[in-house]
């Protein structure tokens, strides 16, 4: 542990002055962010807001050139292996290997997280059962529906008993029933394990419904932070809305992003990846 | 924007608690540092074998070309007797070269797989596991070696069917396996290094095609180094495929060889390949 040991329990994520630039383009510009243990935290923002870059710094995929990132007190720049052992990560793309069965997909992550051979099969079975894929475990992932693949990825992340589950656009492209299924399983697993969930999403309604707190990012910084209800109430008070006609989280999003949505936000690869994911799950 | 999915109704069936999840509450203990590399290599090799078990199409289609080399080129040049082979039939002389060639062809395009894994998010997911980049690359390199080894077994069987007088000494066959895996590890690392530079499948495909033929024809796979012009002999000495073929020919046919130096060159080449590919892996993670 670190200097945070004076606190009763280290924050799940603590970013202080995090900055990251690609050549001359600043992606994250002095990000201050705290995610509390056990909460479902939504990181929202338009394309190019810096969400993915921030997530990649937290997951150690990118270096931390300026500022500080800590995950449960471990420095993401200096103690990468310790941070990775605490993480379960589901990227935006459909990242299950279609050439393997569901069970083999999960077993791979059990192996790379050093699950001992004697408990590997049971642990993999529990992870698959936790996302309702026990019956489909021995089918190739290529035969799964989009919602099943997302649940399989969740099982891959859960098999190492992470303390922090990071989900990048977990429901993109799914139909409403599949989205409900994914969120149900996230909620159930979180309730059973007490893990912290950090999620990015473009679906404001999902964030409103399932996140304990949300942060709205724009141009590399947090522009609004609080519970969805707090953010709506704040905007409602500013607009002097009637109590029964509070703005939606989407209104808050529009208020924060304003007309300053960047036409160049989200590079070609990001957009192609998003569309490919949506197409594959659709 | 689409509508929010319905919230789970209160008291609805809770998917997780219906099954035991006690193991999912307990993080696995980290392995000792010295066990980490073999564990990751084992994991990556297992994945490759599982994929081959589910879909053997590639194995069959990739067997066609080496079979044609042995059947057409090998048989014809055996009759022509144009290439000095030290008194053995040309098809016998050719067989180890074709084993090395088919293993190299599999390995040299392995970088395409890593770019595909990057695009599919699989690579990022693996990079967020407690796996050092060098261990991940070593694992991938040996996985390519295992895939190549399966291919080498197929070519070996074809050669045996064509009457090539190969050794069946198990120790020598074990050494053959080690040489094939090591050679493929180097060529897959070369491919992953190029992948880390060019970052796109199309460009890597072009590079792969540009280097495979010079590597093949600039080696001793088809003819002895002694019949090459001086400049090509020099190039051949810098070509790891030549060392792989030399070792395979010595082990399988009993021709004169330099097994220790061949093995050392392939080992050093593979180590340098792992270092280079690991250093460039970060570019793929962006």
| pLDDT score for B43 | 97
Rounded distance between C-alpha atoms, residue A226 and residue A215, angstroms? 7
Contact A85 B27 (CB under 8 A): yes
Q: Assign domain A3-281 to its CATH superfamily.
A: P-loop containing nucleotide triphosphate hydrolases (3.40.50.300)
Contact A85 B130 (CB under 8 A): yes
On whether any CB of chain B is under 8 Å from the CB of A115, the answer is yes
B127, B86 in Cβ contact below 8 A?
no
| pLDDT score for A266 | 54
Residues 117-156 in B contacting A (C-alpha not used; CB under 8 Å): 119-122, 124-132
A163, A132 in Cβ contact below 8 A?
no
Contact B17 A206 (CB under 8 A): no
Contact B6 A176 (CB under 8 A): yes
Measured between beta carbons, which residues in chain B are less than 8 angstroms from residue A179?
A: 4-5
pLDDT in tens, A186-231: 999 899 999 999 999 888 999 999 999 999 999 899 999 999 999 9
pLDDT in tens, B23-60: 999 999 999 999 999 999 999 999 999 999 999 998 89
3-state class (DSSP) for residue B228: coil
The answer, yes or no, to whether residue A279 has pLDDT greater than 80, is no
Rounded distance between C-alpha atoms, residue B146 and residue B142, angstroms? 6
Contact B24 A126 (CB under 8 A): yes
pLDDT in tens, A21-64: 988 888 999 999 999 999 999 999 888 889 999 999 999 999 99
Residues 6+ apart with CB under 8 A from A168: A52, A55, A89, A90, A91, A92, A199, A200
Give the pLDDT band of residue B221 (cuts 50, 70, 90): very high
Instruction: Measure Cα distances from B171 to A92, B159, B167 in Å.
Output: 48, 19, 10
Q: Tell me the three-class secondary structure of chain A, residue by residue.
A: CCHHHHCCCCCCEEEEEEEEEECCEEEEEEEEEEECCCCEEEEECCCCCCHHHHHHHHCCCCCCCEEEEEECCEECCCCHHHHHCCEEEECCCCCCCCCCEHHHHHHHHHHHCCCCHHHHHHHHHHHHHHCCCCCCCCCEHHHCCHHHHHHHHHHHHHCCCCCEEEEECCCCCCCHHHHHHHHHHHHHHHHHHCCEEEEEECCHHHHHHHCCEEEEEECCEEEEEECHHHHHHHHHHHHCCCHHHCCCHHHHHHHHHCCCCCCCCCCHHHHHHHHHHHHHHC
A10, A73 in Cβ contact below 8 A?
yes
Best probe of the B interface among A108, A164, A274, by most B CBs < 10 A, is A108
| pLDDT score for A6 | 44
On whether any CB of chain B is under 8 Å from the CB of A164, the answer is no
Shortest CA gap B110–chain A (Å): 16
Shortest CA distance to A22 belongs to which of A265, A202, A194, A245?
Answer: A265
Whole-number average pLDDT of chain A: 88
Q: Which backbone phi and psi does A28 adopt, to 5 degrees?
A: -125, 130
A203, A219 in Cβ contact below 8 A?
no
pLDDT in tens, A161-176: 999 999 999 988 888 8
The stretch B244-261 carries a mean pLDDT of 94
A114, B27 in Cβ contact below 8 A?
no
Contact B128 A159 (CB under 8 A): no
Shortest CA gap B60–chain A (Å): 17
Per-domain boundaries in chain A: 3-281
B98, B67 in Cβ contact below 8 A?
no
Neighbours of B220 (CB within 10 A): 24
Shortest CA distance to B259 belongs to which of B268, B270, B250?
Answer: B250
The answer, yes or no, to whether residue A8 has pLDDT greater than 60, is no
Measured between beta carbons, which residues in chain A are less than 8 angstroms from residue B22?
A: 126
Measured between beta carbons, which residues in chain B are less than 8 angstroms from residue A276?
A: 119
User: B202: which DSSP letter?
Assistant: H
Rounded distance between C-alpha atoms, residue A187 and residue A195, angstroms? 10
Whole-number average pLDDT of chain B: 91
On whether any CB of chain B is under 8 Å from the CB of A176, the answer is yes
On whether any CB of chain B is under 8 Å from the CB of A103, the answer is no
| Nearest chain B alpha carbon to A83 | B130
On whether any CB of chain A is under 8 Å from the CB of B57, the answer is no
Contact B28 A114 (CB under 8 A): yes
Flag the least confident range among A96-105, B11-20, B74-83, B269-278.
Answer: B11-20
| Nearest chain A alpha carbon to B16 | A130
Rounded distance between C-alpha atoms, residue B144 and residue B189, angstroms? 9
Q: What is the ipTM of this complex?
A: 0.87
Rounded distance between C-alpha atoms, residue A272 and residue B157, angstroms? 44
| Nearest chain A alpha carbon to B46 | A108
On whether any CB of chain A is under 8 Å from the CB of B53, the answer is no
Contact A95 B125 (CB under 8 A): yes
| pLDDT score for B17 | 46
Measured between beta carbons, which residues in chain B are less than 8 angstroms from residue A94?
A: 120-121
CB pairs under 8 A between A and B: 179
Contact A100 B50 (CB under 8 A): yes
On whether any CB of chain B is under 8 Å from the CB of A119, the answer is yes
Of A87, A114, A129, which has the smallest distance from its Cβ to B19's Cβ?
A129
Shortest CA distance to B49 belongs to which of B129, B142, B131?
Answer: B142
pLDDT in tens, B270-283: 999 999 999 999 88
| Nearest chain A alpha carbon to B49 | A100
Shortest CA gap B156–chain A (Å): 27
Instruction: Measure Cα distances from A171 to A177, A212, A256, B234, B283 in Å.
Output: 11, 18, 23, 57, 27
pLDDT in tens, A122-172: 999 999 999 999 999 999 999 999 999 999 999 999 999 999 999 999 988
């Amino acid at each position: 542990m670190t200097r945070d040991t004076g606190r009763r329990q280290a924050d799940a994520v603590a970013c202080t002055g995090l900055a990251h630039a690609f050549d001359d383009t600043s992606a994250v510009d002095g990000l201050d962010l705290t995610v509390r243990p056990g909460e479902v935290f939504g990181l929202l923002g338009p394309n190019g807001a810096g969400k993915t870059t921030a997530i990649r710094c937290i997951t150690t995929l990118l270096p931390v050139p300026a500022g500080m990132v800590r995950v449960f007190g471990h420095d993401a720049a200096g103690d990468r292996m310790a941070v990775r052992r605490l993480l379960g990560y589901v990227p935006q793309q459909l990242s299950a290997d279609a050439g393997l069965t569901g069970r083999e997909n999960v077993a791979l992550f059990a192996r790379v997280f050093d699950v001992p051979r004697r408990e590997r099969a049971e642990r993999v079975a529990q992870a698959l059962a936790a996302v309702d894929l026990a019956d489909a475990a021995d089918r190739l992932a290529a035969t799964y529906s989009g919602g099943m693949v997302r649940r399989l990825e969740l099982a891959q992340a859960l098999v190492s008993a992470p303390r922090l589950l990071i989900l990048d656009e977990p429901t993109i492209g799914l139909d409403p029933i599949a989205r409900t299924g994914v969120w149900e399983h996230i909620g159930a697993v979180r309730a059973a394990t007490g893990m912290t969930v950090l999620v990015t999403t473009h679906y404001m309604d999902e964030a409103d419904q399932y996140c304990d707190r949300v942060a709205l990012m724009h141009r590399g910084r947090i522009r609004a932070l609080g519970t969805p209800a707090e953010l709506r109430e704040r905007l409602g008070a500013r607009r002097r809305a009637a109590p029964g006609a509070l703005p939606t989280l989407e209104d808050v999003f529009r208020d924060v992003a304003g007309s300053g949505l960047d036409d160049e936000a989200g590079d070609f690869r990001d957009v192609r990846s998003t569309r490919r994911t949506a197409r594959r799950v659709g | 924007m689409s509508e929010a999915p319905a919230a789970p109704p209160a008291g609805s069936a809770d998917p997780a608690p219906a099954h035991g999840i006690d193991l999912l509450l307990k993080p696995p203990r980290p392995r000792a540092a010295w066990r980490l590399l073999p564990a990751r290599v084992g994991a990556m090799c297992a994945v490759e074998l599982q994929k081959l078990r589910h879909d053997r199409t590639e194995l069959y289609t990739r067997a066609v070309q080496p079979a044609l080399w042995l059947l057409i080129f090998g048989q014809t040049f055996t009759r022509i007797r144009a290439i000095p082979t030290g008194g053995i039939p040309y098809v016998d002389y050719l067989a180890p070269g074709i084993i090395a060639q088919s293993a190299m062809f599999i390995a040299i395009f392995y970088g395409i797989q890593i770019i595909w894994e990057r695009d599919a998010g699989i690579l990022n997911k693996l990079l967020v596991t407690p796996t050092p980049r060098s261990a991940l690359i070593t694992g991938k390199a040996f996985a390519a070696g295992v895939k190549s080894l399966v291919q080498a077994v197929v070519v070996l069987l074809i050669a045996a069917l064509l009457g090539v007088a190969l050794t069946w000494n198990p120790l020598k066959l074990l050494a053959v396996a080690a040489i094939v895996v090591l050679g493929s590890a180097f060529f897959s690392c070369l491919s992953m290094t190029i992948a880390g530079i060019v970052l796109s499948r199309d460009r890597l495909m072009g590079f792969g095609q540009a280097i495979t033929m010079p590597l093949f024809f600039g080696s001793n796979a088809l003819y002895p180094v002694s019949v090459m012009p001086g400049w090509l002999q020099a190039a051949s000495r810098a070509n790891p495929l030549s060392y792989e073929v030399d070792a395979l020919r010595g082990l399988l046919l009993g021709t004169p060889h330099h097994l220790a130096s061949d093995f050392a060159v392939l080992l050093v080449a593979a180590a340098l390949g792992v270092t280079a590919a690991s250093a460039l892996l970060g570019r793929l993670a962006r």
